[in-house]
Amino acid sequence: MDCDLFIKKLPRDLKELIVREAEANRRSINQEAIVLLEEALARRVRSARRRYAVQEALAAYAALPTRDERPTEQIIEYDNNGLPG
């Protein structure tokens, strides 16, 4: 269902940019504003999905069992020349 949305106190330079984009894309100002909003919201959704995927991957990694309880320094020891000891 279509509905009306009115934006109060839209900065003049922003309106001018929308007008220029509308002319360049052969759209009305209203159509251009809708397209710009759709594109911006789609980017936000994709970004949120990526952040969520990274958080899930980190949580899955953190849930993996620890195979060796020793600190790293005890697992691999190096001498003063940087060679395994």
Q: pLDDT tens, position by position, for the chain (85 residues)?
A: 788 988 999 999 999 999 999 999 999 999 999 999 999 999 999 999 999 999 999 999 889 888 778 777 777 767 777 776 6
Position 85 scores a pLDDT of: 63
Position 79 scores a pLDDT of: 74
In a domain, 6, yes or no: no
Number of folded domains in the chain?
1
Name the pTM for this structure. Answer: 0.62
In a domain, 38, yes or no: yes
Range of the domain at 36: 12-63
3-state DSSP call for residue 65?
coil
- Helix locations, 25-71, DSSP H: 29-63
In a domain, 82, yes or no: no
Position 14 scores a pLDDT of: 95
In a domain, 24, yes or no: yes
In a domain, 2, yes or no: no
In a domain, 33, yes or no: yes
In a domain, 84, yes or no: no
Angle between helices 29-63 and 12-24 (to 10 degrees): 100
Nearest alpha-carbon partner for 40 in 20, 16, 21: 21
